[in-house]
Amino acid sequence: MKLRGVELRRISMPLVRPFRTSFGVETTRDILLVRAETTGPDGDAEGWGECVAMAEPRYSPEYVDGAQHVIEHFFLPLLRATGEFTAAGVAPALAVFEGHPMAKAAVEMAVLDAELRVAGVSLADHLGAVKERVPSGVSVGITDSTETLLAQVAGYLDDGYLRIKLKIEPGTDVERVRAVRQCFGADLLLQVDANAAYSVDDADHLRALDELDLLLIEQPLPPDDVAGHAVLAAQLTTPICLDESITSAAIAGDAIARGACSIVNIKAGRVGGYLEAVRVHDTCVAADVPVWCGGMLETGLGRAANLALAALPGFTLPGDTSASARYWETDLTEPFELGADGHIAVPTGPGLGVVPLPDVLASVTTSTTRWFP
């Protein structure tokens, strides 16, 4: 196929409640959308990509203005010069540019959506999904008090979420996690995410989490500190799961081989796209390492793609693939709803299986830039 044109759209979407992590707080998501218009022997199509970069470079070095800049100034000119390409060829072509996995993932997602719409194939089928519904967990931000945290967890359990992930930071960590465990009992599937807030010297402190029977502790140490995670893993009984550290299938294989993690959180944006995310999954499955699908506070577009990914066979733990209402008063797409059994249906239509609702899209758009014609 060829690119006929590309629209880069920025949208602003207020979250239903602020989401605080050890590195900052999100109240309104400033999101870059990529709409790729393609043409090929089997027809013209349009595809949507969502860039998961946040407004500020805190979770990782990427940020939304930077992502838009690198797409406009480097990725699109290169793809235009390439002429004919396929979705599978996007990542290899863009590999001449270092870094920027979230920006690359957004472009690949848009082209892949267009390609699959022409082919009449759903993203789930294309990626290798084996499930029609996936179990849903929820990520709970850091709160001002333990009481507020307990109330929020109670609300999410009432909604039907099957697993709770608590964001933690030094100072309140063990006490808050213990309060949740005591309040909701031994059967609650509970895990924590530190977003790199600790150092390997905190091993003794983090060992206090071992008695709280957690599914995992996610990314306790900085992304580069794979060696430190291996040291920590040897000192904790709580399994270590890596998020920020895992930026490719090769690095996943290396981290596993070095004993740095025994579970992996997969996010397409962090690894440069859904196709690389499948390779991360395959690497983990080959090493007998369970995976689950992470989230980046996506709209219904990114959520649709995450649900497709989460339907692959190695995703044996509930993901941060929550329903639309956990994030938005009004989602960009038809809302994703949590079923009575705590699962969400995987979209079945061609490509992502969802499109932005025109009225909602118009009302949240803050800028639009057109490329080529």
Binding site for ligand SMG (CB under 6 A): 19, 21, 26, 54, 59, 139, 193, 195, 243, 294-297, 320, 322
Nearest residue to Mg ion by CB is 243
The per-residue b/e assignment along 338-349, b for 16 or more CB within 10 angstroms, e otherwise, is beeebbbbbbeb
Nearer to Mg ion, 218 or 331 (CB): 218
Span near Mg ion by CB under 5 A; candidates 1-9, 30-38, 169-177, 191-199:
191-199
Q: Given the complex with Mg ion, which of 193 and 276 has the nearer CB atom?
A: 193
Task: Give the residue numbers annotated as catalytic, written as ranges.
Answer: 167, 267
Identity of the residue, 114 or 346, whose beta carbon is nearer to ligand SMG in the bound complex: 346
DSSP letters for 312-349? STTB-S-BS---GGGT-SS-SSSPP---TTSEEEPP-S
| Contact partner, 152, from ligand SMG, Mg ion, none, Cβ < 5-8 Å per class | none
Residue 234: how many other CB atoms lie within 10 Å? 10
Q: CA dist 290 to 91, 161, 242, Å? A: 25, 20, 11
Task: For the CB of residue 108, give the shortest distance to ligand SMG in the complex, in Å.
Answer: 20
Pairing mode of beta strands 137-140, 291-293 = unpaired
Q: Considering only CA atoms, which of 143, 150, 205 is closest in space to residue 174?
A: 205
Site string for Mg ion, 211-250 (x = CB under 5 A): -------x------------------------x-------
* Two structure tokens written together for 176: 């808050």
Cα angle 228, 230, 233; round to 5: 110
CB of 217 to Mg ion, least distance (A): 11
Residue from the set 108, 193, 276, 331 that interacts with Mg ion by CB under 5 A? 193
At its nearest, how many Å lie between Mg ion and the CB of residue 183? 23
Residues of this chain that bind Mg ion (CB under 5 A): 193, 218, 243
